Amino acid sequence: MATSPPPVEVHKVPIESVSDASGLARLLDEGAIEADRVIAVIGKTEGNGGVNDYTRIIADRAFREVLEARGSRAPEDIKQIPIVWSGGTDGVISPHATVFATTDPDKVPQTDDPRLSVGYAMSEQILPEDIGRIPMVEKVAAGVKIAMERAGITDPADVHYVQTKTPLLTLETITEARSRGKDVWTEDTFKSMDVSNSTTALGIAVALGEIDMPVAEQIHKDLSLYSSVASCSSGVELDQAQIVVLGNVRGIGGRFRIGHSVMKDALDADGVWAAIRNAGLDDLPERPHPSDLKGRVANVFCKCEADPSGRVRDRRNIMLDDSDVHWHRQIKSCVGGVVASVTGDPAVFVSVAAVHQGPSGGGPVIAIVEP
């Protein structure tokens, strides 16, 4: 008989400078969690969010160094911990990290109600020529299924959040592919960020049965295909898909529960409230206020995308025509403000480039709460 996964603790810590991991160190020193039990970190760094966003690399190193100094795991094992950084804290979004760690079942509330479980996996190597194409969809889908199994989740309906980090294209990897006689989906390295995210999202949707396997022509084009739980980021730090699956499992106990919904557009605060209710805070009033949350929201995670129509609620905007400030930064700032207005806390995870992640012009929104 399969062993149940351990319960999971969730803690959000601020990042006060580019290389600051003191929040994680404080959690460990105070005994809130154990270094050797940390299984994933998902966070926002303050760089430009682009191909050359070095803040992700600096933060990654800082957090892994703390885990190595405070724990007993070997460096090669610490390198395998999924630490997913999304660059860009535009507007009021505050740099922070959400730390996930297993804990002793005897030290958490016991309940048969669904409680948060986390599984992670690394996909097969994703080659430069895979990005934007079916082989990447297949490799991601296979990795998601492995992560689900590790989380103890058998029903895809119990999955509420899949956070990934995948490679994007750089001049170096494009040149390497050419040296092997291969071509790539795009030679625009910045666009490859969006394409890597969208291809990954389709892999998640396939693994969870949200869609059938797409054809090549649908990738990054058929906006009717999407996952409602995918949150995909990409960067230069890796050449595999780093996959974290979060869902609910009955009987494992613990304090936290996860749920999701979608934001239909950039102003859809009701979508954020729906995710919070779906996670288990069903005692909220009909028109709630942040004060009604009473500190029970661990964090909210969402993806966003400038509506390709150039309109929100039938009003024209110029995000996609602005040559001064890229739309990535504008929509992230906008949605970050909307989400923070719900939670009352600007340390929220808002990531951009959401093609195939939620409905076009909107995106998935996930909440982890203490019900």
Residue 199 CB partners (closer than 8 Å, separation 6+): 131, 132, 133, 136, 137, 140, 166, 219, 220, 356
Burial zone of 18 (CB within 10 Å; 0-12 exposed, 13-18 middle, 19+ buried): middle
Say whether pLDDT at 236 is over 90: no
Instruction: Tell me: pLDDT of 219 over 70.
Output: yes
11 — phi, psi (to 5°)?
-135, 135
Residue-level pLDDT at 2? 52
Nearest CA to 64 out of 55, 74, 54 is that of 74
Q: Nearest-CA neighbor of 299 among 275, 264, 329?
A: 275
Residue 84 has pLDDT above 50, yes or no: yes
Average pLDDT over residues 77-105: 96
Q: Is 233 a residue of the active site?
A: yes
Assess whether pLDDT exceeds 60 at residue 1. no
pLDDT tens digits, one per residue of 28-79: 999 999 999 999 999 999 999 888 999 999 999 999 999 999 999 999 999 9
Within 10 angstroms of residue 173's Cβ, the number of other Cβ atoms is: 20
* Residue 200 backbone zone (phi > 0: left; psi -120 to 50: alpha; other: beta): alpha
Model pLDDT for residues 178-190, shown as the tens digit of each residue:
999 999 999 999 9
Burial of 286 from C-beta contacts in 10 A (0-12 / 13-18 / 19+): exposed
Find the catalytic residue in 165, 192, 196, 261: 165
pLDDT for the residue 237: 77
Determine the Cα–Cα distance for residues 360 and 307; give it in Å rounded to an integer.
Answer: 6
**How many residues can be counted in the chain?**
371
Q: Which of 233, 234, 261, 333 is catalytic?
A: 233
Which pair of structure tokens corresponds to residue 233?
């980021």
pTM for this structure? 0.95
Share of the chain above pLDDT 70, in %: 99
Mean of the per-residue pLDDT values of the chain? 96
Structure tokens that stand for 84 in this block: 């997913």
Q: 131-157: per-residue pLDDT in tens?
A: 999 999 999 999 999 999 999 999 999
Q: Given pLDDT bands bounded at 50, 70 and 90, which one contains residue 242?
A: very high
And the tokens for 123? 């996909």
Q: What integer is the mean pLDDT of 307-333?
A: 97
Q: What is the CA radius of gyration of the chain?
A: 19
- What's the confidence (pLDDT) of residue 4? 84
Is 86 an annotated catalytic residue?
Answer: no
